[in-house]
Structure 1
């Protein structure tokens, strides 16, 4: 297992240092602006340049709100607290009559603060965002009563609506973000489960068939090794060939499992219906005569359909060899215009489908994933029948 060593702490990048310096410089400048506000609020002549009275008058409250903005990314609550404190102090020290300072920009100043409260609601849990919204509302209502330009009750109602709207929008954004994250987590878990089941089916189908053939061939070899050495030698050759193929398949599967997360776990090369003749021969070596019938066209099939059809035949023949006690079976593969039919019949005693094995379950899962139909059970006339109908994608049905 590869473990990446943590990177040793090093000097902070120059850009990060510059951003931090600018952010805290703005905070340090905030008290100066607040102290300067009463001078601007009296009149333009109070600062000695009447011609610039209106620009400076708007600049002061803008600076009070904007100077702490540099802290929003890392310390949003501190930034919001500084904005609220500065706005409240400016309002308290500069309010006057109907033409007083902040009478026309009070709303704009606190709307910007409401937007910050909404941003906090979008990025922080409710146990933080709800008290934050309450504090913002309380400060705005207090600032409305300190400013005598308009009816403070109207401003209180406006503040209530604005803060509520900002919080609702921010909380909705966070709820959608949480929902999207839950969907991604669920989709990832489903993908992992589907991949695990796919590999489990491949392992079962590959190993179960191979072990069944090996067990039967080993039994045959042990019984005839003294009387029929040629047949015993053939059984050992079959065991060797089957073992090598199974080992190669296991190596591919283990290699797929060891791939880093996020990479496709390919189990190629995968078998298909073109390998049925070899499968039939291996089953015949295990003592079961297989009659293979192919019908329909011979055009290439989609890879997933080709693999599923092969695995269904393989698992059905494995069950015949291991459980049916049959000496003969028939495999029919028929390609139609819009589907592929696979059927395996044996002449054994038959019997109900068991609940403990994974073979029938795996075959049914393969067919279900392709949107087909699957049947497995004893035949009325004796024996057992496995049938699958696999739709061919890209064909109008």
Structure 2
């Protein structure tokens, strides 16, 4: 077998070795740079001091504690030569900057001992370069203030980063929660109506299987058709959820093309009415206004889902053979009303009814509309949803204009009233 090629150190390892070598050279370069001599001017020694400090900078990012230790070692060693005080300004400021970086990266249990040790070394160095008690005290105060300023700046950077990370985590959690609610609404709306129809037909078939075999076969056929449609819809929904964002078009490796079936809307009410009729409830649909007016996809889907869930509740809880659905398109509002004449029942969803009414209210609120549901005074139940529509002129209206937080949008005048038995507009559609 051919010999394996020898592994060469990566560029990162080479950079690390070079950074450590340069940092270890810092104390010696600084000591020789600040050592007094007749042939060295002050400007030259300042330049060499800056070069010595620059040797440590590559190590600050990788290991700030080690870099600080080498800076302090070079500072103390250079101070023993008793140079001019101004020649030590740059090493002192470099040490303070490293302390500030440590304040931004490390907790207080690491920062406090490091800052105190740094201040002690700087004070020890000041004893060699200052003369007189007043100058020494003022130098200590200046060193302490500079170090405190660097530490506070570093802590502010740390707190700002922590706050930004917390905001990102909170935003991600809110996005996940919103997505979970959206998925829950979609799955509930896809499955609940069909399961209600299947349950009713299964009960009918069980009761008449001995006396009316033909009716039992019809019930079983309805169950089969409904369950197949439900399974297909569930597969489409799960397929869309499994498709990743970048592979939505099926172009990524191993990606499955997302379903191209259009979302249901009010144009599919006839199919919904037929499935509800199979469950034993006749639905009268009234289309008012301009039935041919196109609706935004999100409004169309929300209106269909509200009607679907309302009919499911009628089938399961109303104990009535008929109900009415009214869809009215006005200039700026889509009004959807579902009423039945069943026996009076308490306000709110029945016990164990699940999250149907909650999902309908959420759908209306997401579009800036209003939703109400409750028993009618004379018996039965009504559901009303008013969804805002964009105007032809594209200008905001009272129904589409955003409201301040906590402000409720009033319903249209006739939105909360039960439907009269004979409204002149529209033609009933069984």
1:248-287 equivalences in 2 (<5 Å): 248-259=232-243, 269-287=262-280
1:1-397 equivalences in 2 (<5 Å): 14-37=10-33, 40-43=34-37, 45=38, 50=39, 53-91=41-79, 93-95=80-82, 101-148=83-130, 151-224=135-208, 231-259=215-243, 269-297=262-290, 298-352=292-346, 353=348, 354=350, 356-357=352-353, 358-392=355-389, 395-397=396-398
Residues 31, 115 of structure 1: alpha-carbon distance in 2 compared, 3 angstrom cutoff: closer
What is the SS of the residue equivalent to 1:73? helix
Report how far residue 321 of structure 1 moved: 0.5
TM-score, normalised to structure 1, is: 0.85
Could you list the runs of 5+ residues in structure 2 that have no partner in the other structure? 1-5, 249-257, 399-430
Cα deviation digits, residues 259-290 of structure 1 (max 9, x gap):
559988x8874322121111011111211111
Report how far residue 331 of structure 1 moved: 0.6
**Structure 1 residue ranges (4+ consecutive) displaced by more than 6 angstroms after TM superposition:** 261-264
What is the SS of the residue equivalent to 2:41? helix
Contact residue 45 and residue 87 of structure 2 kept, 8 A: no
Could you list the runs of 5+ residues in structure 1 that have no partner in the other structure? 1-9, 96-100
Report how far residue 313 of structure 1 moved: 0.7
Aligned-residue CA RMSD in angstroms? 2.7
TM-score, normalised to structure 2, is: 0.79
Count the aligned residue pairs. Answer: 374
Contact residue 100 and residue 152 of structure 2 kept, 8 A: yes
Query: Corresponding residue for 1:3?
Result: none
Report how far residue 257 of structure 1 moved: 4.5
Report how far residue 12 of structure 1 moved: 6.9
Report how far residue 145 of structure 1 moved: 2.6
Contact residue 71 and residue 91 of structure 2 kept, 8 A: no
Cα deviation digits, residues 41-88 of structure 1 (max 9, x gap):
322x2xxxx2x5334311343244222222222211111111112112
Greater CA drift, 386-395 or 237-246: 386-395
Contact residue 335 and residue 385 of structure 2 kept, 8 A: yes
Report how far residue 207 of structure 1 moved: 1.3
Cα deviation digits, residues 104-142 of structure 1 (max 9, x gap):
233333122212211121122222223322222232233
What is the SS of the residue equivalent to 2:382? strand
Contact residue 28 and residue 74 of structure 2 kept, 8 A: no
